[in-house]
Amino acid sequence: MLNEDIAPVADKKASLAEADLQSESSSFFGSLAAQIKTWLQFKGSVTQSEFEPLPLWLWVLFSLALLSMSSQIKLPFSGGRLALADLSVSLAFLGLLWRSWRNKERVFYPLSGLILLALFALANFFAGSGRGGAFETLKLYQQYFCGFLVLSYFLRRSPFAVALLFSLGLFSNLLLAVIQTIMYGYGSIQAPADVLALPLGFGKALTGFFRSRMALSFYFAVSLAWLQPQWLGRNPGFWRSLAILLLTVLVLCFIAHGMMLALCMLALLIASLFLHKKALLLNLLALLLLLFSLAVGQKNVQRDCVLSTLNPCKSGAYAGELKTCHMDFLAALRMAALKPGFGIGSGRYQDNIGRCYGELPNPSYNDIDSDTQAGWGILAGTVGFPLSFLFALALLGAAVLALRKYQSQQSSAACQQLGAASALLVLFGGFFISNPMIRGLCWFLIAAICSAILPQGAELRNKLNEFGFKRIILGGLALGLLLLPLLARKAVTDPLHNKSLSSSPRPQRSAVSATPSTFVSQGSDFFLVVNASQVKEFTAPFEKHQDSQAADKLSLRIPDGKGVPPEGKEPAMEYGGALFEIELPQAQRCKIWLRTWWDGSCGNTINLQVDDEPRSITIGNDGTYHTWHWLESPILYELAAGKHQLRVLNREDGIAFDQILITSDMEYFPQDIEEQQP
């Protein structure tokens, strides 16, 4: 369906543009500028090809691509690396290439987008991220080059169809969210390892077609902000307004993350101020109905879920302390400060973020929902501050441009620009809570940017931003060539070069009361090795495991999928633990090391508790998987002479350990299996 409002205003805007060019010609420099502007821009409105109906096969490809964008469904092969949307968008892109070649059609793509993608590749090259960075850059190309071109082509020719297909995706996720709430409970979540084990990547919690409660909340917030101004239009009737009101309230009720809910309501209210009084009244009523649903009843699961995720601080024993996801953002900024220019490289964030906590409170239990790590922190940590700043500037610039376009046009199609500005507000704020650059959410980031900056009607078009078949191929080849240096350069083994380990002193903690005079001197080093076979007591899901590469051929492990502590509960023996008893002949100031084996990024931490410490300490968050390696506790211990208890506790499944080393030698780094020294 073509936008009927484009053609009538084409000639008027073209004549105005010509008048502007003539006024600039009053001086020499003005004349020169006018000539350059004329050369760079097309005068007039849409081309004839944009009025030609699309063939059925291309409609089918585009429709499948846009519907699959409203999901994080992964294909059940190749380890889940390929998403359904990746495949459908790739097919739609090939169809676009064929159409562009046969009909000599041009597609809008901002030249600044190519520059940003090129800078992303260069940042990864200088960071030395190797093949991992090349793979992440390739995914970015597929999404922000191929995907942008597909959305740009379809948005220019049929903006109504795009809004309709995204609306169908929203309805489908809403229906599934209702079913999941009935089956698993409102606000239900899954551990990251359990999410990865799902064959299609979604389900068994309030996730819709997404993999987590956070991702679904973000999707609902940004899609509602983008679509609602288009649903309302310039002058909606009573029944249409009533239907949109009910749908808005329903979607808001299923945004289970409090911060995303508040951000979405703010964006809707701001957009209403630009739209009309009916829209403002509608959203104020929606807010009142939402507050009513949160206030009714003494036991209200929705209220508890929204308030707990709205509060950035923990409750209970550690009330007032920032939640781990927000501490993770602070640690990410510290990581970026260590490598401010180009970051540590894409694909290595999870492997290194645990090293950057320093004196920040130790995240002793995993209170991070899947996908709750802040996107701005991830971006700054992996590609550096300059590129992150440019990207933030691009988002804000696109939002401002969309508002200016909306205010300068009187057609109902301009509501798409207002929706784009509203969605970009949600996305910009959402970057502080989650990461919308992941699959699924990234498509709506691209759609919001594209609909914000896409030239409409008779708007003058820059020739540099109009890509024909040859320019698309050349642009893709140019981006591909930038991957070659990434692949050729060997990955830097330690991107932080141990900077984080020396940037702040390690905190010390006393396990028992003792005076400094009672500690043994560092001249006589203490060295004690405890094997897993010496365990005094252990509880499920820990189990003994025969391992030829472990000390005494035995380890204690928690297989992947066997269970983690309940949500909000700290690791404890009742949720899986191993108890050891040691005896010290004299008081010692010492380090404690664990020899560990990790299954992956969602199974790479374990907790340690000494004696009656009120809070256990997390060890891990490193990126060494499927091999035995030593890790040290992030604090020093001051232990009195006599007996002590060590508890190794379950924090994530998919882990194992076989040795504990207690030593007063602060310079000692254990290697392989350690033997007790005489």
pLDDT digits (tens, 9 = 90+) for 434-478: 999 988 899 999 999 999 999 876 666 778 888 999 999 999 999
The SS3 call for residue 204 is coil
CA distance 608 to 357: 17
Per-residue pLDDT at 341 exceeds 90: yes
Ranges 47-56, 76-85, 648-657, most confident: 648-657
Per-residue pLDDT at 517 exceeds 70: no
pLDDT at 320: 78
Specify the amino acid at residue 254.
F
Give residue for tokens 């090293």. 355
HSE-CB at 503 with a 13 A cutoff on CA atoms is: 18
Predicted confidence band at 317 (pLDDT cuts at 50, 70, 90)? low
Q: Which of 640, 637, 614, 609 is nearest to 514 (CA)?
A: 640
Residue 274 zone, left/alpha/beta (φ > 0; ψ -120 to 50; rest): alpha
CA distance 201 to 188: 15
pLDDT at 17: 44
Identify the CATH number of the domain defined by range 506-663.
2.60.120.260
The model's pLDDT over 548-599, given as tens digits with 9 standing for 90+, comes to: 888 988 999 998 878 888 877 889 999 999 999 999 988 989 999 999 998 8
Tokens of 446: 């691209």
Per-residue pLDDT at 8 exceeds 50: no
pLDDT at 610: 93
Neighbours of 559 (CB within 10 A): 15
The model's pLDDT over 148-191, given as tens digits with 9 standing for 90+, comes to: 999 999 998 889 999 999 999 999 999 999 999 999 999 998 87
Predicted confidence band at 518 (pLDDT cuts at 50, 70, 90)? very low
DSSP letters, 79-114, are: GGTSBHHHHHHHHHHHHHHHHHHHHT--EE--HHHH
Q: In the predicted model, what is the mean pLDDT of the chain?
A: 84
DSSP letters, 457-477, are: TT--EEGGGEE-HHHHHHHHH
CA distance 210 to 55: 31
Task: Provide the percentage of residues in the chain whose pLDDT is more than 90.
Answer: 55
Peptide bond into 541 cis (omega under 30): yes
- Of the candidate ranges 8-22, 96-110, 292-306, 338-352, the one whose mean pLDDT is the lowest: 8-22
Distance of CA 267 to the CA centre of its chain: 20
Calculated CA dihedral for residues 455, 459, 460, 465, nearest 10 degrees: 0
The model's pLDDT over 499-511, given as tens digits with 9 standing for 90+, comes to: 544 333 333 333 3
CA distance 393 to 386: 11
Per the CB < 8 A criterion, the answer to whether 651 and 609 are in contact is no
Specify the amino acid at residue 432.
F
